[in-house]
Amino acid sequence: MANAHSIAAGFSFFACLFLSSEVAVAAGFTPTHSIPLRIVTNSPAYARGGYDAARLIDGNPETEFASESGGTNTFVTLRFPSPQTVIAFRHVDRADRALIARSELIFTDDAGAIVEQLEVKHVERKAGETFFVFPKPVRASGVEWRVTELGASGVGTVGGAELEFFSAGAAEQNPAKDTASARALPFLDKLGNQQIQVTVEHPYLETDKVALRVGDRRMEVQLVHGRNVFTADLPGVKSNLTQKVELQLSPSVTREASFAQSPIRPMLIYILPHSHTDVGYTDLQTVIAEKQVNNLRRGMELARRTANYPDGARFVWNVEALWAADLFLQRANPMERREFFDAVRSGRVELSGMYLNELSALCRPEELIHLFRYATELSEATGKKIESAMISDVPAFTWGGVTAMAQAGIRYLSDGPNYGERHFMSFWADKPFYWIGPDGKSKVLVWISFQGYALAHIYDALSPRLIDDLCTRLQKPSYPYEIAYIRWAGLGDNGVPDESLCDVVKDWNRTHQSPHFKIAGTTEAFQALEQRYGKSLPEYRGDWTPYWENGAGSAARETALNRQTAERLTQAQTLFAMLRPEAYPKKDFDAA
């Protein structure tokens, strides 16, 4: 079978047959040749950087072009090195929600006159490959590729990972240019088998049936143009082995490739469902408040609905910022309040200790302490100690936060930076450590997971592609632990709970022994790591200098006013506590 990087076999078969008759190929295989391309102009690329149009034609599927929310105004104009007879087009979409449903190819001659216009229907799948064989060859000197219809998400930062145009070569009797490669995937099923992924590159228009042997497993497969991906199961191994894959193209033509098969370390991966509380960036503050209150309601409902699921697949809702819990309790009726407290005490809802995601380096010491004050109050009210906190989107945290957290009883910090902070993430992700406070005594266990808080933004679902990417990373010697965790924050900031997650986890755990997934609260995941590996975790001291605070420079006057107000407020609190403690207006100070 073909994976997301391959086209549907049926469409390819009929398109290839039609083209073969057009170019009058009597027999054999028609090779395709990628035509060199030069970009003349393009719509503006995503301003954050690293998504320029040249990435479409760099031959690397891991890099992407993304437009600056161009939507159907997204285009790229290209020139061929000389007039070409073009027979086919290939596009690999972004590994993102910003997908393309349809596009248009506008071919021009040397003078710039239009010689042909063709509509392309895309597969509309993350990293999906569209291969389109033209109804008849087109003779042209250049082409403009233009997006005409967005995918179902409607996200406008469309573009792609690869874009190619092809010419036809002379017919060949055998597909001698076919190549094969293989890799062992980093998981085991319940029978102890490891899946082997075989990739066959078939640069011919015609389909072909061939024999494929993987280890001692033999099968017959059909090849379509481009990249074909097949899987076979082999028993897992206890030591490193070199295995072989063989492709029998004809009685006289074979292709062989070797691949390494290594032992799979058992892996327990905790999943922390939550919603990233992003106030004012994606919508009005009042709208976000309503969303987060509803998210808490939905999280509790989903936890009730899956209470009888197998262990590990039962839903748990992590309240990322206690602002949401505060708002909920202010609005809840007596029955809803009882349900909330019961959900917290039973572990179906986990409360994180920070009130909101703050730019911590702008906080005064009193403000840092106040960030975690509501956590101590809720701990007393629920009888369930809050021992963990989440910080999301914002990279790093100020050093004084360690002391503030420790004083509030917070032992664990799940840091989920924006995945766009690539340098920060490459250094800190999947490297848990103890952070020692400036007093030399207080400490918290800090742990950043793969892709920070936005993993679900990137992959949409707990898919085989995600599990492959995640476990390939975790099986490397640089990750020495057999426990990991991921954040699961829905399909965008302030996202709703993922109702499909529990069934996906249940089905996966039923058929696989490693990795094993467990939906949980932050504290459980961190405690599991600490109990097993705490003595070997590194310790760091010093400021983990946050840097998004530079944005406050655009509001210098307002920042100064806020600091002056905070100073006066601190003085007022101190004087009230000293002179009139019996009249101390706690609610007024908390509101301020």
User: What is the model's pLDDT at position 589?
Assistant: 82
Whole-angstrom distance, CA of residue 23 vs CA of residue 135: 11
User: What is the model's pLDDT at position 27?
Assistant: 59
Instruction: For 120-150, write each residue's pLDDT tens digit.
Output: 999 999 899 999 999 999 999 999 999 999 9
H/E/C letters for each residue in 263-280? CCCCCEEEEEEECCCCCC
Residue owning tokens 């309040």: 337
Percent of the chain at pLDDT above 70? 95
Helix ranges (DSSP H) in 347-483 = 365-371, 373-382, 400-407, 422-428, 455-459, 464-474
CB burial class (10 A; 0-12, 13-18, 19+) of residue 243? middle
User: What is the model's pLDDT at position 471?
Assistant: 97
- Does 4 have pLDDT greater than 50? no
Average pLDDT over residues 224-240: 95
User: What is the model's pLDDT at position 249?
Assistant: 87
User: What is the model's pLDDT at position 12?
Assistant: 31
Average pLDDT over residues 322-333: 97
Instruction: For 25-47, write each residue's pLDDT tens digit.
Output: 335 899 999 999 999 999 999 98
Average pLDDT over residues 8-21: 29
User: What is the model's pLDDT at position 581?
Assistant: 87
Lowest mean pLDDT among 264-278, 280-294, 528-542: 280-294
Q: Give the fold, CATH level 3, of 179-261.
A: Immunoglobulin-like (2.60.40)
**Domain extents in the chain:** 32-168, 179-261, 268-360+390-545, 553-591
Instruction: Report which of residues 354 and 95 the model is more confident about.
Output: 354
List 75's β-bridge partners, or say none. 146
Q: Give the fold, CATH level 3, of 32-168.
A: Jelly Rolls (2.60.120)
482 Cβ contact partners less than 8 Å away, ≥ 6 residues apart: 265, 266, 267, 268, 532
Lowest mean pLDDT among 92-106, 148-162, 341-355, 448-462: 448-462
- Does 399 have pLDDT greater than 50? yes
Lowest mean pLDDT among 292-306, 327-341, 353-367: 353-367
- Domain range 268-360+390-545, its CATH number among 3.40.50.300, 3.40.1410.10, 3.30.930.10, 3.20.110.10: 3.20.110.10
Mean pLDDT of all residues belonging to the chain: 91
User: What is the model's pLDDT at position 13?
Assistant: 27
Instruction: For 204-230, write each residue's pLDDT tens digit.
Output: 999 999 999 999 899 999 999 999 999
3-state SS assignment for residue 358? coil
- Does 373 have pLDDT greater than 90? yes
Lowest mean pLDDT among 150-154, 363-367, 507-511: 363-367
158 closest CA partner among 170, 171, 168, 147:
147
User: What is the model's pLDDT at position 202?
Assistant: 95
User: What is the model's pLDDT at position 3?
Assistant: 38
Lowest mean pLDDT among 45-49, 232-236, 308-312, 346-350: 45-49
